Amino acid sequence: NYDMVHYGHSNQLRQAKAMGDYLIVGVHSDEEIAKHKGPPVFTQPERYKMVRAIKWVDEIVEGAPYVTTLETLEKYNCDFCVHGDDITLTVDGKDTYEEVKRMDRYRECKRTQGVSTTDLVGRMLLMTKAHHSNIVSVFYQQHTDNFGKGPKGHSPWTGVSQFLQTSQKIIQFASGKEPQTADTIIYVAGAFDLFHIGHVDFLETVYKQADRPYVIVGLHFDQEVNRYKGKNYPIMNVHERTLSVLACRYVSEVVIGAPYTVGKDLLDHFKVDLVCHGKTEVFPDKDGSDPYAVPKKRGIFHTVDSGNGLTTDDIVQRIIENRLQYEARNQKKEAKEMAVIEAMKKREEKTQEQESLHSV
């Protein structure tokens, strides 16, 4: 459904693309998601745009059916479909990929360790309370420990885990493209936390500033982000933010841990032609200076308006408002997954019983 698109989804799409030549991604409508999972946080147009912005995607199907049938594969001329190695169930508890699996038109890609929508929502819930006082944070510890765990044990698919960055992952996500002589090198900097549709609109606007853009995104380290964003920001650490930004089709390169002040050294090193910033407030550096003083003096600083004022704060608010529905949904999802695991166990036990009867 690609509701809260994160780097785990991007990684899934990257793997899917590597299995073939042309990647078509089906994205469900709001109505379809509400029916199976509860109301989505992001609207159809937002979700469609978000998936289109992922660089491995060749085409999207808007309002794709919840159950992928052979008929759907034939309609879009697809040889096979790809899904993660978690179970997706219909309202009545059936495997949504039963038919295509039977006909050998199904492939599986690995889940990305350390990230899931449930986990990210957990981090946000944590943040909204934990920063108010230290007393609450004890309650919080308990809350995270319980997050994504049902009343009876916890599902292996919905637990909270930690992301581990590797150089391999960065290589898989990186474009590997060097800037060409005719390219306009554009530099932007920020937190790009919880990479969202506001970021996509901004980067697309930046990309359109030149005929041959080479967009470099400078990502600030977590500590720096916390200095100017406060609370418990960033929600995603610098490793997660790196992959999130690299997955975007408008981005050519990422500086991991960029200096807050855009100075002479950075501009000269990357031969920057243009420095862009959105409509959001520019916080001064630790010493009170303007981080964009040098590019402004060089006459290469440009404020762009993407027409989308959405910030990470807004996203967190939206998700918190949806929180009760989320928590209810997570409990329900847990119960459904646990039931499937139980059924699988029973089936296995039965098979073993029969086998041991035969061998007697």
The tokens describing 306, both together, are: 């993407």
Nearest-5° Cα angle at 241, 236 to 242 = 150
The token pair at 322 is: 């949806």
For residue 256, list its beta bridge partners. Answer: 219
CA dist 230 → 111, 132, 161, 193, 319 (Å): 31, 11, 24, 13, 19
In angstroms, the first-to-last Cα distance of the chain is 49
| pTM assigned to the model | 0.82
CA dist 334 and 20 (Å) reads 33
DSSP state of 177: P
Higher pLDDT, 171 or 323: 171
pLDDT higher than threshold 80 for residue 333: no
Q: Quick one: DSSP state of residue 247?
A: T
User: Residue 34 in 3-state DSSP?
Assistant: helix
Q: How far is CA 167 from CA 7, 72, 164, 173, 216, in A?
A: 16, 37, 10, 10, 19
Residue 4 DSSP class: S
Q: Are 103 and 72 a contacting pair, CB within 8 Å?
A: no
* pLDDT, tens only, 68-97: 999 999 999 999 999 988 777 777 778 889
Question: Tell me: the pLDDT tens digits for 2-17?
Answer: 888 999 999 999 999 9
Rg of the chain over CA atoms, in angstroms?
23
Give the pLDDT confidence of 258-315 residue by residue, as tens digits: 999 999 999 999 999 999 999 999 999 999 999 999 999 999 999 999 999 999 999 9
**96-141 pLDDT, tens digit each:** 898 999 999 999 999 888 888 878 888 888 776 654 444 334 433 4
Give the 3-state secondary structure of residue 59: strand
C-beta of residue 279 within 8 angstroms of C-beta of residue 303 = yes
Pseudo-torsion of CA 46, 47, 51, 52, nearest 10°? -40
Can you read off the two tokens belonging to residue 150?
């049902």
Question: What is the reported pLDDT for 329?
Answer: 66
Average pLDDT rounded to a whole number, residues 352-359: 79
